[in-house]
Structures are given as C-alpha cells and as structure tokens.
C-alpha cells in the first residue's frame, strides 16, 4: 500500500488550459447542454461501462498510445507528473501513480485535506438531512448512505462534493489520521455526474453505484467518504478490502473493518473519473477558498476544525 508522508503546505504550478482552434471548438461542443446530456446519458450506460472495463484492460502498448492520443483531443490530459509515462493499457493510464513529492500533504492537525484532485461541486451544511447536488436539486443523506442511522452523525455538519474529470489523477487518499470502521457497497446505475446531468437527474448520486466508507478520526469524530461511480467508470478499488467493486456486484454489501490509516495514505482509485462526497459532523467548516467551481489537488486543505 502506498503512503504519502505529510509535508508542509506548498504552492503548485498554475494549470495552463489548452488553447487553439480544436480546444475552443471542443469546449463549445461540450457546453451544448442538450447534446452533452444526450451523448453521455441517453445511451446504454451500464453496457458501455462494462465494455469500458473490458476494453481498458487490453494490454497493447500501440493501441494504448492511440487511445491516449484520441483522449487528448477531448481532454486536457497531462502526464508530466506521472511516475510512469508509458502504459500498456488504458487502465494503467487511468490509475497512474504520481512522482513522489508532487502532492504535498498539509500536515496541520486541525485540517482535513482533499482526498483527491477535483473540482468542487455543491458544498455546505447538512440541514434536516438535506443536501444539494445542484441549485434547486436536493437529496437526502439517508438515501445516499442507504440507512438513516448512518447519516445521522453528520446532521448539522458539512458536506463537500468533489468531481474528478477523466483526465485527472484518479487515486484517492485519507484526509486525516484515523481508522476505517465500515464500508457499504451499494449497486446502482451509471449516470454521468457532470454538472449538466446533476441539473437534470433527480437524486443522481443516490441512484448510481457507490461505496459508503465510514471512518473514525484519531480525535474521535466520525468522517465519511462516499465515492460515486459514473458512466464509463468500470470499477472502484479499495485497498483495505482487496476487492474490486463494480456493476456486476448485486449489493448492498456490508464490509466491516478495523483498518488504521494515516493522513495522505492511498485508499484506492477509480478507473476513469467520478465523484467523492466528504461528510463531517458539526465542529468543522469549509477551508478558505472552498466553493463551487474551485479546483484543488489532493493534500490541500478541504475542511478545518473549529477553534483550530
């Protein structure tokens, strides 16, 4: 299991967006909401997701190079931080490790760090069991967790939705020192989780395949991470279970555990890109700058303990 040693906070290089005729045309196309929703959702989602799982595992360096070249036409894929830059399958590229030191971990004990590279989606307080996936589109925490009693510790606390795009680093890590106490796998659909779909599909996160990971911080508070799969996300790997969670599992599946984790320790990965929703109990607030649309990297401050 890979671990990251906590380091002092450090600035990172500013991301440079793709430019040129193709990038402008691509962005205009992807922003056509009706077309985007039709292409990414009005398709045989589960069948294509299973196909992607098979296809991404095909071991062929030349086919992989071709796939990555096509992938770069549609995304701002950057492999400059990857530990390896040559891959024999798409899966190896999707789940790539990074070079040591490129994701410093904020070591302050009152700070919960981002478990992944992401774009912040909806975030804020959990009130009367309600939270938001987009403006005017609410859902209930108990529906996401699968049981009301499992969502109850986070009433009055905070949630942060973290969206991973297909080109991002797909591994996720522990936000703080603690122990993983329980994992629930919930089977479901494979809707796209981009902002366009979140504005149109009611209770989307509660419909999709997901894992509910419940932790206990060393300071005693509960914490929850909910990785939600999406269209073309073939599986979720959780290292402490040593199993691959995917759409062929019937679910729900209960998996108790007692696994210690260190801040920054790698917990698992997605095989494409998706979403992680982080839940804290009362006593935590959003870190400075955390708001919808904010881009952040694994290891940067996400939430902080009040009074810290």
- Whole-Å CA distances, 23 to 18, 65, 75, 266, 289: 6, 20, 9, 33, 28
Which pLDDT tens digit goes with each residue over 238-265? 888 866 555 455 655 888 999 999 999 9
Among 173, 189, 235, 272, the one annotated catalytic: 173
Among 150, 175, 156, 152, residue whose Cα is nearest residue 290:
175
| Residue 238, pLDDT score | 86
* Range 137-162 average pLDDT: 96
Say whether domain 111-305 belongs to CATH 2.60.120. no
pTM (predicted TM-score): 0.82
Spatial contact of 91 and 165, defined as CB atoms under 8 Å apart: no
The fraction of the chain above a pLDDT of 90, given in percent, is 50
The answer to whether 170 is a known catalytic residue is: no
| The pLDDT of residue 237 is above 50 | yes
- Is 187 assigned a catalytic role? no
User: What's the CA gap between 114 and 91, in Å, rounded?
Assistant: 23
**Which of 1-10, 40-49, 133-142, 177-186 shows the lowest mean pLDDT across its residues?**
1-10
Which residue spans of the chain are classified as CATH 2.70.70?
Answer: 111-305
Residue scoring higher pLDDT (247 or 165): 165
Half-sphere exposure at residue 21, Cβ-oriented, CA atoms within 13 angstroms: 0
- Among the listed residues 4, 56, 114, 274, the single catalytic one is 274
Higher pLDDT, 253 or 119: 119
Q: SS3 of 275, please? A: strand
Residue among 247, 250, 207 nearest 41 (CA): 207
Higher-confidence residue: 273 or 113? 113
- Catalytic hit among 117, 158, 189, 246: 117
274 given a catalytic annotation: yes
pLDDT exceeds cutoff 60 at 217: yes
């Amino acid at each position: 299991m890979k671990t990251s040693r906590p380091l002092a906070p450090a600035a990172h290089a500013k991301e440079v967006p793709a430019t040129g005729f193709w990038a402008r045309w691509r962005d205009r196309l992807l922003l056509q909401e009706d077309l985007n929703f039709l292409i990414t959702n009005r398709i045989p989602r589960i069948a294509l997701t299973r196909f992607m799982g098979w296809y991404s595992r095909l071991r062929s360096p030349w086919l992989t190079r071709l796939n990555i070249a096509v992938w770069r036409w549609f995304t701002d894929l950057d492999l400059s931080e990857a530990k390896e830059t040559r891959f024999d399958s798409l899966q190896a590229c999707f789940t790539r490790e990074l070079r040591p030191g490129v994701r410093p971990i904020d070591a302050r004990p009152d700070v919960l760090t981002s478990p992944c590279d992401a774009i912040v989606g909806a975030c804020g307080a959990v009130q009367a069991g309600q939270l938001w996936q987009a403006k005017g589109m609410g859902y209930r925490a108990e529906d996401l967790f699968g049981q009301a009693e499992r969502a109850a510790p986070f009433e009055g606390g905070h949630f942060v939705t973290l969206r991973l795009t297909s080109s991002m680093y797909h591994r996720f890590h522990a936000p703080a020192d603690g122990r993983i106490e329980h994992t629930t796998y919930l089977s479901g659909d494979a809707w796209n989780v981009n902002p366009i779909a979140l504005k149109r599909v009611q209770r989307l996160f509660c419909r999709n395949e997901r894992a509910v990971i419940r932790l206990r911080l060393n300071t005693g508070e509960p914490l929850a991470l909910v990785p939600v799969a999406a269209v073309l996300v073939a599986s979720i790997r959780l290292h402490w279970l040593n199993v691959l969670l995917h759409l062929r599992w019937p679910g729900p599946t209960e998996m108790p555990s007692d696994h210690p984790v260190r801040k920054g320790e790698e917990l698992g990965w997605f095989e494409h890109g998706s979403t992680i929703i982080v839940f804290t109990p009362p006593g935590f607030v959003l870190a400075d700058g955390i708001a919808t649309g904010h881009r952040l990297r694994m290891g940067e401050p996400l939430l902080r303990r009040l009074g810290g």
